[in-house]
Amino acid sequence: MYGLLAGCQAALDSHAQSTWRRYMCGLCESLSRAFGPSARLLATPDLALLALLTDAQSAALSAPSPSRCLGRRPFYLRVPSTTSPGSRFARCMNVAAAGARIEDAMRDGDFGPRWLARLGAAVLRRAARRACADLEQLGFDPGILTRAQHESALVEGSSTDFDVLAAPVEKAYAAAFGHTAALAGRGGNLAGMLALGRWFGRLAYVTDAAVDHPRDAARQRFNALAACFGAAARARGAELAATASERLRQAAARVHLTRHQDLIAQLLSSGLAHKISWACGGSGGGQRIPVRKPKQPEGDARKRETPSRPPFWKGWGCSGGWRNDTEGSDAATCCYWCVCCCPPCRV
């Protein structure tokens, strides 16, 4: 699971965690119903935010949908409606964005064996065509994503201005966030949502470049921060991320929301700070630090009872932090025993 909001759940309070988890599980369920069970692997928290923002601006909500999943506790959960405009928009954008991301990975040679790349691309192209048709029904132009991808490829070879390099991503995010206001019938929020999407896109671009910087340097590939700032890439990336994060919070404050104000405020403040700290060097410099069991003190006859490590698939997607359930509360999230290197996730 990838995205700017991956791993942010550990920074939310208990009520916000519960609500955000339902939107994440709702996106996963919606992808499965529309594109098949394998589409669950494409779920990303950044696009679950589109469904959350649409519902937060809407005057009324649709009836929740049931969700059953073996990968979480509890097995049965009621999630936001999978047929609402916000849910449809989020899942279609998720599939279209995943297709663009994998095409980009194939060009860079990061998708594995050639036969696997061809198979994955063929499957995703069919799903992406269906998603684009649904986006057109919702009034969104899917060509915005394709144009952003092409513009980004063009400017990477011709510019060393970071504003120019980040502009295509900013435009795509701004269009997606702005459309949530149209789906919710909140025309007055359009300007605020466009600004919110622009700064969210800039922050996603900065953190992605910061995380990829060591690998791009080793493989001699293009990296926006390295191309623009040279040896000061990571320091300048942290400054750009801090500025974008502050502008993002200012834009969010200008948007009128009907519900979920606390959750969105936490996601865009402490949640993003959690990821920025990890990506830009505040917590291991973007390196993943595995969870290890605590060592037992020598000479202690009574051994501490430590929970056994569950199967690896319980923590494949980092959407929250592991917490020791010592008081009998249902504290485990779908990121049980997560290996995110953010400090609140460590055990």
124-128: long-range contacts at Cβ-Cβ below 8 A with a sequence spacing of 24 or more? 124/95, 124/98, 124/99, 125/99, 127/35, 127/39, 127/95, 127/99, 128/95, 128/96, 128/99
Q: Answer whether residue 335 shows pLDDT above 80.
A: no
State the chain's maximal CA–CA distance in angstroms: 68
**Res. 334: pLDDT tops 50:** no
288: pLDDT strictly greater than 60: no
Tell me the C-alpha distance between 13 and 280, whole Å: 24
Mean pLDDT across 34-59: 90
Per residue in 189-241, pLDDT tens?
999 999 999 999 999 999 989 988 888 888 888 899 999 998 888 889 999 99
What pLDDT is attached to residue 343?
Answer: 39
Non-local CB neighbours of 217 within 8 Å, separated by 6+ positions = 223, 226
pTM of the predicted protein model: 0.81
Q: Give the model's pLDDT for residue 36.
A: 87
Taking residues 131-147, report their average pLDDT: 91
**Of 167, 239, 159, 236, nearest in space to 199 by CA:** 167
Look at residue 290 and tell me whether its pLDDT is greater than 50.
no
| Alpha carbons 58 and 253: distance in angstroms, whole number | 17
Peptide bond into 307 cis (omega under 30): no
User: What are the tens digits of pLDDT across the range 299-312?
Assistant: 544 444 444 444 44
Rounded average pLDDT over 282-296: 43
In the chain, the amino acid numbered 209 is A
Residues 152-161: tens digit of each pLDDT: 888 987 888 9
Whole-number Å distance between alpha carbons of 284 and 282: 6
Each residue's pLDDT tens digit, 55-93? 999 988 888 888 888 877 788 889 998 899 999 999 999
Measure the CA–CA gap between 172 and 86, rounded to whole angstroms.
17
Is the model's pLDDT at 318 over the cut of 70?
A: no
- Give the tokens for residue 335: 């990121």
Please determine, for residue 150, whether its predicted confidence score (pLDDT) is greater than 90: no
Residue type for 223, please? N
Rounded Cα gap, residues 72 and 330, in angstroms: 11
CATH class of 8-279: mainly alpha
Mean per-residue pLDDT of the chain: 78
Q: Which amino acid is at 237?
A: G
pLDDT class of 44 with cuts at 50, 70, 90 = confident
Task: Give the chain's end-to-end CA distance (angstroms, integer).
Answer: 21
* Secondary structure (H, E, C), 54-82: HHHHCCCCCCCEEEECCCCCCCEEEECCC
